[in-house]
Amino acid sequence: MGQEVLQLGLDIGDQAQLPGDREREPKIQRLITLSDIETIIYRRIAKVEPNGQISAAAAVGSAIDWFLTPANFIYRYRDNYCFPPELFPDWDLQSVFARFYPTGYRFGEILEILEKHRPRFCEQNPLNPANLALERRNIKRKLVPVWQEIAKRFKIDFFNLQGVMDIERNSLIFGGRTASEEDIAQITGRIIHNRFDDLVDDDKDYTYIARPDCLLAYESNGQTFHIQVEPDYIKRLRERRKTVKKRHIVTKRIVGDFKDSDKRDLTDFSTPYGKTMLVYNWLLSQIGERFKWNQLTFVRLNNRQKRRVFLIPQEVGKQIDSGSVQTALEFLRADGSEIFSPMPQLSEDLRDMAKTTLDQALLLSQKPVLAS
C-alpha cells in the first residue's frame, strides 16, 4: 500500500502531500495516551480509583469505528461506489479510500472488504430499472453483512466488547467488567437501523477523515511530550469551495449508556471525570486548530513499532482560530433523535485549567509511584 497510494489519495484540501521519506522517521521519546492521563488524574491527583467509564466507552467506540469507517465511506461515495466500476473507470477505490483513511491501520483488510462487497451494492432490482442502491434504506440493508464480516475478521467480540483490561504494576489484568452489555447483533440493529441516519455525513462542504490518529506535541515542565489522541473523525471545511459555512469540526464519539447526570458531569470540573474530559476537550480543540494534511508521516515508537500518524507540532503557520473549531461527543445510546452533543466551548479560564491539570499529570507521569 504505502507511499504511492497515499500520494494519489491525499490530493484534496489545501496542502495535500506526503512529507519526508521513511528513512527520516521521527523517534517519539515521551509518548503518553489519554488513558494514561485519565489514570493519573484519578489515582494520583484525585486519589480515587478510576471507574473505567472513559476506557470502557473508548473500547466500544473503537469497535464500532471498524464498522463506521467503511460504512461512512460507502455512503459518502455512493454515487461512485454503488455503480459498476466500468461505468466510472477514473474513480479508483483504493486511492480514494487512502484519502478517506490516511493513517491506514489495517488498511488492506478494510479495502478488501470494500472490494468484496461492492458488487452487492451495484445490484439492481429487475422489476425497477432505477438504481435503488443510492437510496439510504437500501444502503443500510446491505451494510448488515459488511458489519458481520468486520465483527468476525477483527474479532470485535473478543477484543473490544467482552472485557476491559486494567494496568497494574506494568501488567495488564482483567478489570472484572464488560465494556458493553450489548452483543454484536444488538449493536448492529441499533447503529444501522436506528442511528445510521444521524451518523452518516452527507455534507459536500466538508472533507470527512476517518480515524485520523494524531500525536500532539506539547511542551511541559521543560520537556516535550507527544500525546496520543485518536478522534473518531475530523470534518474539515473545504476551503476552496464557496459556502456560507465557516466551521472546522473535530469530533470524537464516546459510546456508552450515558444518562443525563453523566452529561452534567462533563462540566463539573471538581470531579476526576470532569477534569479528564476538560483535558480531552482541550486536546481535541488543539488538533482542530493545528491540523494540516502535510503533517502525515511515519514515526518510530519506543517499542520499535512504526506507525503512520498526523504528527502535530506545537507551533504551526496559519493556525485555525479557536472559534472555528467545534468538539463534540456522540451519545449513541441517548434517548431521542439528537445524538450530537457539542462539548463546552472553552473560555480562557477553562483552557488554563485544562493545561494546569495536563501539566500536573505529565509531571507525575515522569515520577515513580511510591508503594503505599
Residue-wise pLDDT tens digits, 235-270: 888 777 666 566 677 777 665 555 666 667 778 899
pLDDT in tens, 179-234: 677 777 777 777 888 788 878 876 778 888 999 999 999 999 999 999 999 898 89
Element (H, E) at 316: none
Query: Per-residue pLDDT for 366 more than 50?
Result: yes
When mean pLDDT is compared across 45-54, 66-75, 103-112, the lowest value belongs to: 45-54
237 SS3 class: strand
* pLDDT band, very low/low/confident/very high, at 300 (cuts 50, 70, 90): confident
Instruction: Tell me the average pLDDT of the chain.
Output: 79
User: Look-up: residue for cell 497515499?
Assistant: 6
Query: Per-residue pLDDT for 153 more than 70?
Result: yes
Q: Where are the beta strands (DSSP E) in the chain?
A: 31-33, 165-168, 171-174, 206-210, 214-220, 223-229, 233-237, 248-251, 296-300, 306-312, 325-326, 328-330, 340-342
pLDDT of residue 69: 92
pTM: 0.83
C-alpha cell at 343: 462539548
* pLDDT band, very low/low/confident/very high, at 110 (cuts 50, 70, 90): very high
C-alpha cell at 175: 478489570
Sign of the Cα pseudo-torsion (200, 206, 210, 216, in order): negative
pLDDT of residue 160: 55
pLDDT in tens, 68-89: 899 999 999 999 999 889 989 9
Evaluate whether 233 touches 108 at the Cβ level (below 8 Å): no
User: Look-up: residue for cell 476551503?
Assistant: 239
One DSSP character per residue, 42-60 reads: IIIIS-S----HHHHHHHH
Q: How many residues does the chain have?
A: 372
147 SS3 class: helix
What is d(CA 178, CA 186) in angstroms, rounded to the nearest whole number?
Answer: 15
What is d(CA 61, CA 65) in angstroms, rounded to the nearest whole number?
Answer: 6
What is d(CA 363, CA 333) in angstroms, rounded to the nearest whole number?
Answer: 36
Q: What is the mean pLDDT of residues 138-164?
A: 79
Evaluate whether 245 touches 237 at the Cβ level (below 8 Å): yes
pLDDT of residue 14: 31
